[in-house]
Structure 1
Amino acid sequence: MTNAPAAARRSHIRTHHGDSFDDPYEWLREKDSPEVVAHLEAENAYTDTATAHLADLRETIFQEIKGRVQETDLSVPSRRGDWWYYSRSEEGSQYGIHCRAAAAPDDWTPPTLEPGVPVPGEEILLDGNVEAEGHEFFSLGSFDVSDDATRLLWAPDYDGDELYTIRVRDLTTGETLADEIPRTGGGFFTPDGTAIVYTTRDDAWRPDTLWLHRLGTPVDEDVKLFHEPDERFWLGAGITRSRRYLVIGVGSSITSEEYLVDLHGDITAEPQLVWPRVEGVEYEVDHAVVDGEDRLVILHNQDALDFELVSVAASDPQGERRVIMAHEPGRRILGVDCFRDFGVVGYRSEGLERIGLLDYTTDAVEELGFDEPLFSAGPAGNPEWHSPFLRLSYTSFVTPATVYDLDLETSELVLRKQQPVLGGYEPSEYGQERRWAEAADGTLVPISLVWKRSFGDPGAGLRPVHLYGYGSYEHSIDPGFSVARLSELDRGVVFAVAHVRGGGEMGRGWYEDGKLQHKRNTFTDFVACAEHLIATGVTSAERMVAEGGSAGGLLMGAVANLAPSTFAGILASVPFVDALTSMLDPSLPLTVIEWDEWGDPLHDAEVYFYMKSYTPYENIRSDAAYPKILAMTSINDTRVLYVEPAKWVAALRHAGAQDVLLKCEMAAGHGGVSGRYNAWRERSFELAWMLDALGLA
């Protein structure tokens, strides 16, 4: 096999707080440099050569995934106004097709759609395959139909940089209107359908300005509705389900503020502040009508670590608060959706998502029950202010994605559809359970396990293990089904999730204990989970691979340095492995916003030295025997720049790591390649590499 690419080392001194660091691979940041492009292409060629022996296995896994998916399929229609809206896929096509069909008056039972059978009266609103023609990458951002059902708004991205061009089509004539708004963060129609509300980004890729575009007028005449000057805050907007208010929200990782515009009046009027911004206080607002009075239902964490739910008069948002769900430590309230006659509250208890129905009259919340010990459930596809059904999504590690409609009159859960899994999948053949690992400080860290029962229960004999982790932004890795995962479970692999601190599985305190100056807990928790699986006889270091992406890629890089001998292989997707360099440069996309998550090393020496103690790139060890490492990245990623894994791989090789690969997509963004077949092939590549590291290739 040819030698691995060796990136040139060129001195680049970075000095902060009296500390100097020579970064010899910083030159790889010049994305448009022919030398950098040539290096990335050389890395790809080397990875192709190094993994050529896995070509047959990759193809086998791809065919397994493809063979389990009903390629010609339809979603469950969702009613909005006089139409049923749904999407469908066709065998051989990469992208979804967005459609609608007329609904009969007062009929809320969605039509049963048969794959491959023409839908009576179907209108194709947007065919992603047509939109993607001639482009290596295609992603659909915004997709909206006006309330009167006569206009379509859609916003494609053809580069992966998450900048979208808004376009509009007249659905009565099929004509694409002249209104085209480039380089936006996305948008939506106003309720009357005559205008579009959209966001634009600043030079750091931060959504910072909200605009109003009236159809048929030049873009340069658009009205600025709101601007957020603070570089730590992102801006977003939406319309309440009641269609009464435009909600403008700005927020950082730890602070938020919201404004309302009453759409019964002038949308360009001065927005009304709900609650003044207070550092460290987050809140979100929805609109309800209770006994004829307009009320705002507000979720907040002021003096309530795991959040509290209150309501206030819409006419006086800063007036008297009525408590609906008081703060309860360990029960993290996640959100609220308001409908005409009731609310839906999402919360987390004992590490799992819960759903409760809110009675506006009594403020009582009734929890919906499900049978499995590990599951994920939540409201989905409920655009209407009033409906006799509540649409719910449900899944677990062994139960495919399922759609229910809750009959609000009878409380019956009506099964609408379960994701078909071809090839004779039987959920009872697979097991799932939760175990607990003890961290170094005595904290118990949950681990979710999934396995195929025919290979025996975990702990009955050493098994290959695929351990996944994330652990940042209070993001929880909840139970969910994966068709691709079956290809490893059916080969005897136990899939495990380490629910480490920094995530949100165990409440807000779990997140707080894994961020800023507590970030190392995320890494040591993951190692503790791996060591627990070894100590309890589930696996051995030679039979375990680890995986994480983005901030989870930072976790992978840190774990590689902390415990390189604990894993046979580490897969790091779009990994945030040069975190300190990024957090020191406020000109980079997202950096200033991210200071609330990681700390500000530019202005705070304590944060600087703490980050330097764990950031993967700066802590690569020359005395360690690193496991096999595969880093996946994309050249147009605006969240974690390709240069981070490129530098990390170069430095690992220079330190003596023997089996390190970099795969860089040359036409994609943070989410990787576009198109379902391309995504399946990319996942087949990753799974084949992991199976090889486990000795199962």
Structure 2
Amino acid sequence: MRLIFLFSGLMLLLTACQPEAEMTDNKESVMYQKMDIVAPVATKIPKELTIHGDTRTDNYYWLNERENPEVISFLNAENTYKDEMMSHTKDFQDKLFEEMKGRIKEDDQSVPYKDNGYFYLTSYKEGQEYPVYSRKKGTLEAEEEVMLNVNELAKDFSYFNVGSRSVSPNNELLAYGEDTLSRRIYTIRFKNLKTGEMIEDRIPNTTGGAIWANDNQHVFYAVKDETLRPVKIFRHRLGTPSTDDVLIYEEQDDTFSAFVYKSKSKKYIIIGAYQTLSQEYQVLDADNPTGEFRMIQPRERGLEYGIAHFGDKFYIRTNMDALNFRLMSTPENATTKDNWEEVIPHRKDVLLEGMDIFQDYLVLSERKNGITQLRIRPWEGKEHYIDFGEDAYMAYTSTNPEFDTEVLRIGYQSMTTPPTTYDYNMKSKGMELLKQQEVLGGFNTADYVSERLYAKARDGVTVPISIVYHKDFKKDGSQPLLLYAYGSYGASMDPYFSSARLSLLNRGFAFAIAHIRGGEEMGRHWYEDGKLLNKKNTFNDFIDCGEFLVAEKYAAKDQLYAQGGSAGGLLMGAVMNMRPDLWKGVVAAVPFVDVITTMLDESIPLTTGEYDEWGNPNEKEYYDYILSYSPYDQVEAKDYPATLVTTGLHDSQVQYWEPAKWVAKLRELKTDKNPLLLHTNMDAGHGGASGRFARLKEVALQYAFFLDLAGKNEVKG
């Protein structure tokens, strides 16, 4: 799934505030004074690509040769050009970086959660990029045991990421994944928590997660194929070489992927197989790791379901005869769909997103009118919803590993409220504030205003928009506005808080999220209406939201900016082709822009599993439709807005050559004098740099790009 980790990148910038610096609003970006700097020109090597009697000529196809020194030279040349074009913002970027970093409390600690007799914590220390994972036995007053200090693990690597961490049932062993390349290919490592020593076992080429059987000796894990699709589930016995591991399951359908996890009840190891329109699950008693898995419900085209175990039943969230999903239950030993009984019915106006099960309560995550609501349903007694007192917010259940409790751990934030953790008593309805992310530098939520707006799309559909701005923002059609969206995979973009974003808001920008079709904000139909042969609704919605914001004077007509990443980068490429005149500047992060060529290449990660999202271009109907919007294929000789494109050389989600080819073609054909810049992180992948501060440097680059285009160049601070 090409889910933006620009979004996770945006989401992790969750904390802070400096006094507003003195500005000068120049009429023209300084970049325009540098247009005599010679931009790199990629060599043209024509390659003909023919299917369905149609031949496309791709002059930059050769850029997919990752090991070719000329490719690396081209990427380095583009980086040098970007640096020269942005050199006047170097000090400004440094200031933005320090400003954003300064909002983050460097000595910080997560709210502890309890699991199997231990309290688990994540902490950060001043000046350190990576977390320290630790625990305390029995009580928070107990001595802290450091399980992993990621700063020590990462010190010899330019990129380092710890994947899933799992502790054995006897609390003595830790399994975790480590990625040192940024392609999300993890090696599973093991540590003895009693002695502090690393265990020799290593399991390469995994998704990073190791699922413990109840014997504390066996783990189950998923292995990726050459396209980075997880397709095999193995069983490993501690103390034996990984080459002796037992293959438990292999996915034969190249549109499906496989995964493995453990039920909250700890009773079952569960193997799942999924694609866009279908899932299936098999379970194994965790007390018997060498036993045989049994099927819950065999896959059927169009049947989606997920399972949770409690007591003597499985609870099943499914779309069976329910577009917005409903909740069913079934005896744990009679699990096929003919045994399913309804617990929560389908509702046309409510999307059932998820469930959390407790001894005495069922907690449902439901989305209505674009906002997630938390519904508390006792197994016996009257149900209720949690009242958060705001119209636009982001609420979610957090880490809740225990069954026998009346306390629900939840998270909450809005565009003006930093991430907040509560314990909610499901019986008394009492809400205990555990922690609100501290935002340093004088942040005051009262200085900012958020609104929920509604734009009318060209086909009459109403599209929600979440917007935030400083209280001094003037809604008179004179101000800059940055419009962000994603719009794919049914991924809903909630109105989240970002401390880094304050650096834009304090300088006169408004920031808006367009909740366009292709997401799932308004229910399952919102997703269905924005994929496959309806994909252009996604692009039209974004354009119509932009025009609405200009018409309603939230943005000056020459100061509207756009940003999106991954599949949201596809959105950026499409709207640039469709309405290049609407945007003053665009940032496209790790953009999925070469849709046809990628979806025809089954060797590329994620391709086959996404036919139900974009369509299979081996079928002419989908080929023609995708070709009609594919950003790379639709580049023309015309004026385009100023554009900054970012990518990572090791990106496993959207390969680096897609944005590189797109920039090369834009540079060849565009007729304007607007800046076009490509930034390639030569050490990172889809999520950018590792470390909580290093990735802020790319955010500072993007913000400096927007602010320079807006003529907001600082003269002193």
TM-score over 0.5 (shorter chain): yes
Match of 2:340 among 308, 317, 321: 321
Measured against aligned partners, the alpha-carbon deviations of 1:80-112 in whole angstroms (never above 9, x if no partner) come to 1222110110111011111112223xxxxxx4x
Q: Is the 8 A contact 1:394 1:403 kept in 2?
A: yes
Q: For residues 496-511 of structure 1, what are the structure 2 equivalents within 5 Å?
A: 496-511=512-527
Q: Separation in 1 of the partners of 2:78 and 2:214? A: 50
Distance 1:461 1:568, change over 3 A: closer
Question: What is the one-letter code of the residue matched to 1:557?
Answer: G
Match of 1:70 among 105, 114, 128: 105
After superposition, the CA RMSD in angstroms is 1.3
Q: Is the 8 A contact 2:590 2:648 kept in 1?
A: yes
Q: Separation in 1 of the partners of 2:361 and 2:38? A: 64
Q: Separation in 1 of the partners of 2:216 and 2:427? A: 33
The residue that corresponds to 2:449 in the other structure is 431
Question: What is the one-letter code of the residue matched to 1:556?
Answer: M
Q: Separation in 2 of the partners of 1:248 and 1:428? A: 48
Q: Separation in 2 of the partners of 1:306 and 1:278? A: 18
Structure 2: tracts of 5 or more residues without a match: 1-33
Question: What is the one-letter code of the residue matched to 2:264?
Answer: R
Q: TM-score, normalised by structure 1?
A: 0.95
Deviation at 1:192, TM superposition (A): 3.1
The residue that corresponds to 2:647 in the other structure is 633
Q: For residues 90-239 of structure 1, what are the structure 2 equivalents within 5 Å?
A: 90-104=125-139, 111=140, 121-188=143-210, 189-239=212-262
Q: Is the 8 A contact 2:477 2:557 kept in 1?
A: no
Match of 1:607 among 616, 622, 626: 622
Q: Is the 8 A contact 1:237 1:248 kept in 2?
A: yes
The residue that corresponds to 1:395 in the other structure is 413
Deviation at 1:120, TM superposition (A): 5.8
Is 1:271 paired with 2:293?
Answer: yes
Match of 1:441 among 444, 459, 465: 459
Q: Separation in 1 of the partners of 2:405 and 2:121? A: 17
Deviation at 1:443, TM superposition (A): 0.8
Q: Is the 8 A contact 1:307 1:327 kept in 2?
A: yes
Structure 1: tracts of 5 or more residues without a match: 105-110, 112-118
Match of 1:375 among 377, 380, 393: 393
Q: Is the 8 A contact 2:279 2:304 kept in 1?
A: yes
Deviation at 1:183, TM superposition (A): 1.3
Deviation at 1:145, TM superposition (A): 1.4
Question: What is the one-letter code of the residue matched to 1:635?
Answer: L
Q: TM-score, normalised by structure 2?
A: 0.92
Match of 2:434 among 400, 413, 416: 416
Q: Separation in 1 of the partners of 2:285 and 2:406? A: 27
Question: What is the one-letter code of the residue matched to 1:337?
Answer: D
The residue that corresponds to 2:96 in the other structure is 61
The residue that corresponds to 1:512 in the other structure is 528
Q: Separation in 1 of the partners of 2:97 and 2:606? A: 35
The residue that corresponds to 2:636 in the other structure is 621
Measured against aligned partners, the alpha-carbon deviations of 1:259-301 in whole angstroms (never above 9, x if no partner) come to 111224x223222211121111110000112xxxx01110000
Question: What is the one-letter code of the residue matched to 2:79?
Answer: N
Secondary structure at 2:159 match in 1: coil
Q: For residues 288-687 of structure 1, what are the structure 2 equivalents within 5 Å?
A: 288-289=310-311, 294-318=312-336, 319-361=338-380, 365-456=383-474, 459-602=475-618, 604-622=619-637, 624-656=638-670, 657-658=672-673, 659-687=675-703
Q: Is the 8 A contact 1:142 1:186 kept in 2?
A: yes
Q: Separation in 1 of the partners of 2:557 and 2:539? A: 17
The residue that corresponds to 1:115 in the other structure is none
Q: Separation in 2 of the partners of 1:369 and 1:405? A: 14
Q: Separation in 1 of the partners of 2:173 and 2:612? A: 40
Deviation at 1:433, TM superposition (A): 1.1
Identity rate, percent? 40
Secondary structure at 1:58 match in 2: helix
Q: Is the 8 A contact 1:242 1:287 kept in 2?
A: yes
Secondary structure at 1:617 match in 2: coil
Q: Separation in 1 of the partners of 2:291 and 2:60? A: 51
Question: What is the one-letter code of the residue matched to 1:509?
Answer: H
The residue that corresponds to 1:107 in the other structure is none
How many residues are matched? 674
Q: Separation in 2 of the partners of 1:25 and 1:136? A: 29
Deviation at 1:672, TM superposition (A): 0.8
The residue that corresponds to 2:706 in the other structure is 690
Question: What is the one-letter code of the residue matched to 1:54?
Answer: T
Q: For residues 4-83 of structure 1, what are the structure 2 equivalents within 5 Å?
A: 4-83=39-118
Deviation at 1:302, TM superposition (A): 1.2
The residue that corresponds to 1:258 in the other structure is 281
Q: Separation in 2 of the partners of 1:365 and 1:199? A: 39
Question: What is the one-letter code of the residue matched to 1:627?
Answer: P
Secondary structure at 2:539 match in 1: helix
Q: Separation in 2 of the partners of 1:691 and 1:233? A: 43
Q: Is the 8 A contact 1:636 1:642 kept in 2?
A: yes
Q: Is the 8 A contact 1:68 1:483 kept in 2?
A: yes
Q: Is the 8 A contact 1:190 1:196 kept in 2?
A: yes
Q: Separation in 2 of the partners of 1:358 and 1:157? A: 41
Q: Is the 8 A contact 2:477 2:550 kept in 1?
A: no
Measured against aligned partners, the alpha-carbon deviations of 1:381-418 in whole angstroms (never above 9, x if no partner) come to 11223234211111111110000011244221111000
Q: Is the 8 A contact 2:376 2:426 kept in 1?
A: no
Deviation at 1:322, TM superposition (A): 2.2
Deviation at 1:342, TM superposition (A): 2.0
Q: Separation in 2 of the partners of 1:651 and 1:687? A: 25
Q: Is the 8 A contact 1:541 1:565 kept in 2?
A: no
Q: Separation in 2 of the partners of 1:526 and 1:539? A: 15
Flag as ranges the 4+ runs of structure 1 deviating above 3 A.
none
Secondary structure at 2:576 match in 1: helix
